């Protein structure tokens, strides 16, 4: 399981390192989605990708977007794609945002 998580972590970090890494969507009409770094967190039942913007002066960061997937029952020891749109549709819940 650790190998699978490390692979997911590496892929998440690499995807944020490219020059063209951006967040886009209708939420950008209300708030800027610019970020400076990406963090990945996990537990035994969830995986979260967190987009952060460093605060001027250092020492802290604002969370721009946090995407969490329930990994209960998933085998994370091999590459896998988690379709978040299917997860939302099955539970009849949409994404939420808070300031």
Q: How many domains in the chain?
A: 1
89, containing H or E segment: helix 84-91
Q: Is the pLDDT of residue 14 over 50?
A: no
Residue 22 covered by a domain: yes
| pLDDT given at position 80 | 82
Note the residue count of the chain.
99
In a domain, 99, yes or no: no
Asked whether residue 97 is assigned to any structural domain, the reply reads: no
In DSSP terms, 66 is beta-bridged to 50
For residue 46, what are the β-bridge partners? 70
| Per-residue pLDDT, 1 | 47
29-82 residue pLDDT tens: 888 899 999 999 988 888 899 999 999 887 899 999 998 888 888 887 888 887
Does 11 fall in a domain? yes
Query: 10 versus 76: which is more confidently predicted?
Result: 76
92 pLDDT tier (thresholds 50, 70, 90): very low
């Amino acid at each position: 399981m650790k190998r699978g998580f490390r692979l997911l972590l590496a892929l998440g970090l690499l995807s944020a390192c490219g020059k063209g890494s951006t967040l886009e969507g209708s939420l950008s009409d209300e708030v800027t989605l610019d970020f400076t770094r990406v963090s990945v967190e996990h537990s035994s039942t969830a995986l979260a990708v967190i987009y952060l913007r460093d605060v001027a002066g250092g020492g802290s960061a604002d969370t721009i977007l946090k995407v969490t997937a329930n990994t209960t029952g998933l085998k994370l020891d091999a590459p896998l794609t988690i379709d978040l749109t299917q997860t939302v549709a099955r539970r009849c819940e949409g994404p939420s945002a808070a300031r």
